[in-house]
A and B are shown apart, each in its own frame.
Chain A
């Protein structure tokens, strides 16, 4: 009797579904408890009057008031547009430079290994240090960029790079491209290794030019493998916050106030939790759309799931 029970327990513990859920259990508890429950709470907060500066009616149900005030606010649209511009420019630069760099790293030239080791450094440097470094280089009174340009005679006096709205935006974009590009290069390099040599041999025999090879063999093979990263990088760019906090605090004249920064400011500077939450929900919905794209790619590729 006891032995039979033991076998049954063993069989149950050995079934794919039970072991699967057992293995997945801890992760699900952690992620539900610390991400999805807070997510639901934030969702509810978006419909509440929750302004710590006016605690009298705190917590009252507010209907769509927060959302209406978000969507009728010009600052919201401006910062959404700013975020989109940042997203498109930074992702385009990261991918064009990153792919070119990956292609070059696939060539056997002297110093290739050194360069490959070098480019992991920007990736490894924490974002806050990256921001601090560029802020120091761009410093209006003592910055290295000013000193360099002046010594080469390219400017006649020190410039306040981060004090100029357009320049500050460009600086934020380039600083984040500096950090994010290496990953694209590494992925390109890894994808290039999966292209069979025969393809190139055949095209060589057929007399295709290098340029033709790049467009007809290399890029069509590499690009699909970069799709997942493209989506993740786009989402990262959409959420950009850390580097802005360190370098410009959203300024000057709001020129670098992206949607994540605006949400942060609404929540932690103006302490309007309800409105802050409704902005965060809008952000989450937009990210959800990107996640759907991801899901479709996953769906096409995956054979092992389910």
Chain B
């Protein structure tokens, strides 16, 4: 291949460094804020590095109980985890079945249904939130995790289908035909051939759905008013909306809320990016 000129390399590095700073700086500042004291953050001129880092707030949140702000964050974290795990599991199971139906089985009207599902995924949540609120309230399901799990599942499952369809399309069809010729039923082929082959894709889809469910805000904001089901985005938005804010605690809440999806993404980056791109690149 051809060589790059010096000027070209300088441009590449300059761009890379700039992106690096823009991405890292705000996150680092949020972290520093979380280990500073309130008075350090309010100083003029600003003290950029805390005299003595305090990690107490992290410990407080994780070990808290009662009705303190720390305990609200902790319960919200637990709620978010339970909800996101349930939504991701169900989305992969139902989405996997649906995606296979679209990829390999010739359905009458399949295209129209696929398009309708994509449209459902694009809908603004504000559209369905009032009717659902009334329905859940008449069933006594408001302020429960189940109402959130069901609603998230319905809005995320089309995304799971879209992602997994891209993945299934990339699998060699010959293996499935071979299994069929050997007398394996369609359901058997799916269970014995397709699922084992697509484990990485299913895992990526699981994590993507987990992250989508973790950050959902509007529906959680409307459906939850008590701590039984309040999720972490709602807890954070409420906390930062108050007048007298404990800034370090707010930053700690933010870092903890971001930690789980960020750690997942950094560790499983390769899978996630594949999952994200498989649906989109293949259309």
Is the C-beta of B247 less than 8 angstroms from some C-beta in chain A? yes
Are A109 and B9 in touch, CB under 8 angstroms? yes
| Residue in contact with A23 in the complex, picked from B98, B217, B273, CB distance below 8 Å | B98
Are B272 and A120 in touch, CB under 8 angstroms? yes
Chain B residues with Cβ below 8 Å from A120 are 265-266, 269, 272-273
Chain A residues with Cβ below 8 Å from B251 are 136
Is the C-beta of B240 less than 8 angstroms from some C-beta in chain A? yes
Is the C-beta of B236 less than 8 angstroms from some C-beta in chain A? yes
Are B126 and A136 in touch, CB under 8 angstroms? no
Q: What CA separation (Å) do A235 and B125 show in the bound complex? A: 12
Chain A residues with Cβ below 8 Å from B264 are 124
Which residues of chain A in 133-149 are interfacial with respect to chain B, using CB atoms and an 8 Å cutoff?
133-137, 141-142, 144, 147
Is the C-beta of A28 less than 8 angstroms from some C-beta in chain B? yes
Known: A30-B94, A136-B30, A304-B103. A126 touches B111 (CB 8 A): no
Known: A124-B262, A126-B261. A42 touches B120 (CB 8 A): no
Give chain A's interface secondary structure class: helix
Is the C-beta of B185 less than 8 angstroms from some C-beta in chain A? yes
Is the C-beta of A187 less than 8 angstroms from some C-beta in chain B? yes
Is the C-beta of B135 less than 8 angstroms from some C-beta in chain A? yes
Is the C-beta of A253 less than 8 angstroms from some C-beta in chain B? no
Is the C-beta of A73 less than 8 angstroms from some C-beta in chain B? no
Q: What CA separation (Å) do A300 and B106 show in the bound complex? A: 18
Chain A residues with Cβ below 8 Å from B237 are 128, 131-132, 245-246
| Residue in contact with B118 in the complex, picked from A126, A178, A291, CB distance below 8 Å | A291
Are A128 and B222 in touch, CB under 8 angstroms? no
Which residues of chain B in 1-54 are interfacial with respect to chain A, using CB atoms and an 8 Å cutoff?
1-2, 4, 8-9, 12-13, 15-16, 19-20, 22-24, 26-27, 29-30, 33, 41-42, 45-46, 48
Is the C-beta of A81 less than 8 angstroms from some C-beta in chain B? no
Known: A126-B232, A241-B218, A306-B110. A27 touches B127 (CB 8 A): no
Chain A residues with Cβ below 8 Å from B128 are 34-35, 38-39, 42
Are A13 and B105 in touch, CB under 8 angstroms? no
Q: Interface size for chain A: under 10, 10 to 19, 20 to 34, or 35 or more residues?
A: 35 or more
In whole Å, how far is A144's beta carbon from the nearest beta carbon of chain B? 5
Q: Which of A117, A124, A141, A245 has the most CB of B within 10 A?
A: A124
Is the C-beta of A186 less than 8 angstroms from some C-beta in chain B? yes
Are B283 and A297 in touch, CB under 8 angstroms? yes
Is the C-beta of A26 less than 8 angstroms from some C-beta in chain B? yes
Known: A17-B107, A27-B157, A291-B115. A187 touches B280 (CB 8 A): yes
CB closest chain-B residue, reference A37: B131
Is the C-beta of A269 less than 8 angstroms from some C-beta in chain B? no
Extra contacts, 9 of them, besides A239-B125, A273-B130, A281-B127 (Cβ < 8 A), are A16-B186, A27-B98, A34-B154, A45-B131, A118-B23, A125-B262, A127-B215, A135-B240, A246-B241
Chain B positions within 8 Å of A, measured between CB atoms, are 1-2, 4, 8-9, 12-13, 15-16, 19-20, 22-24, 26-27, 29-30, 33, 41-42, 45-46, 48, 94-95, 97-98, 100-111, 113-115, 117-120, 122-132, 135, 150-151, 153-155, 157-158, 161, 169, 185-187, 190, 211, 214-215, 217-218, 221-222, 232-233, 236-237, 240-241, 247, 250-251, 254, 257-258, 261-262, 264-266, 269, 272-274, 276-277, 279-283
Q: Would you give 30 A-B contacts (Cβ < 8 Å), ordered by A?
A: A16-B107, A17-B108, A19-B105, A19-B187, A20-B107, A21-B107, A23-B98, A31-B157, A31-B158, A38-B127, A39-B127, A115-B20, A118-B24, A119-B19, A127-B217, A128-B215, A128-B236, A151-B46, A178-B26, A183-B276, A225-B281, A241-B217, A246-B241, A267-B129, A276-B126, A280-B127, A290-B122, A291-B115, A304-B103, A304-B104
Across the A-B interface, give the 4 residue pairs with the lowest CB-CB distance, nearest first.
A34-B154, A147-B46, A126-B215, A20-B105
Chain A positions within 8 Å of B, measured between CB atoms, are 10, 13-14, 16-17, 19-21, 23-24, 26-28, 30-31, 33-39, 41-42, 45, 100-101, 104, 107, 109, 111-112, 114-129, 131-137, 141-142, 144, 147, 150-151, 178, 183, 186-187, 189-191, 194, 200, 204, 210, 225-229, 232, 235, 239, 241-242, 245-246, 260, 263-264, 267-268, 273, 276-277, 280-281, 283-284, 287-288, 290-291, 294-295, 297-299, 301-302, 304-306
